[in-house]
């Protein structure tokens, strides 16, 4: 992903939008299912009759399809039993204590605590010092 989009703020990334005449699938399917055939039945009625015939002949997929639409899909439950080991970051209690100490020192006043100050208080030997230039 480039850091900046190829268009300017306030300019659309798709200025032409959808193509003219584009119709999403679902509305097209609904229209097709509502068309009436020579027997004065809609395509949807013919489809339902066909699925019913298949189910009556023992097609279990058709039976399942009908059942899912009439009664709703059967709820599935999943039971999970798991034991997990949680590894606590060793410096977390010390960090918590340092923040509490800092807050106790500044009780009643609003103070921003820099993360680097806390790191320095916790482990001064691990914090890198900026190198001085030898000019």
State how far the alpha carbon of 132 is from the alpha carbons of 120, 124, 129, 135, in Å: 19, 18, 9, 9
Q: Which residue has the higher pLDDT, 45 or 17?
A: 45
- The total of other beta-carbon atoms located within 10 Å of residue 118's CB is 19
Range 114-131 average pLDDT: 56
Neighbouring C-beta atoms of residue 117, cutoff 10 Å: 12
pLDDT in tens, 61-102: 999 999 888 888 878 888 888 887 766 666 666 777 777 777
pLDDT over threshold 50, residue 127: no
Is residue 73 within 8 A of residue 97, CB to CB? The reply is no
Question: Which tops the pLDDT comparison, 53 or 38?
Answer: 53
Q: 101 vs 3, which has greater pLDDT?
A: 101
Helix (H) or strand (E) run with residue 54 in it: helix 43-56
CB atoms near residue 46 (< 10 Å) = 15
Distance (Å, whole) CA 88 – CA 93: 9
Domain ranges, ordered by start, for the chain = 25-70, 92-122
Instruction: State the pTM of this model.
Output: 0.41
């Amino acid at each position: 992903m480039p850091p900046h989009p190829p268009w300017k703020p306030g300019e659309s990334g798709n200025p032409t939008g959808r193509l003219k005449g584009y119709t999403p699938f679902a509305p097209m399917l609904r229209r097709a299912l509502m068309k009436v055939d020579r027997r004065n039945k809609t395509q949807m009625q013919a489809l339902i009759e066909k699925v019913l015939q298949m189910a009556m002949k023992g097609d279990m997929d058709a039976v399942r399809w009908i059942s899912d639409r009439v009664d709703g899909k059967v709820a599935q439950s999943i039971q999970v039993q798991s034991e997990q080991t949680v590894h606590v970051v060793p410096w977390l209690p010390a960090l918590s204590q340092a923040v509490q100490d800092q807050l106790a020192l500044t009780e009643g006043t609003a103070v921003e605590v820099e993360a680097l100050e806390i790191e320095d208080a916790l482990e001064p030997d691990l914090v890198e010092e900026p190198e001085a230039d030898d000019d």
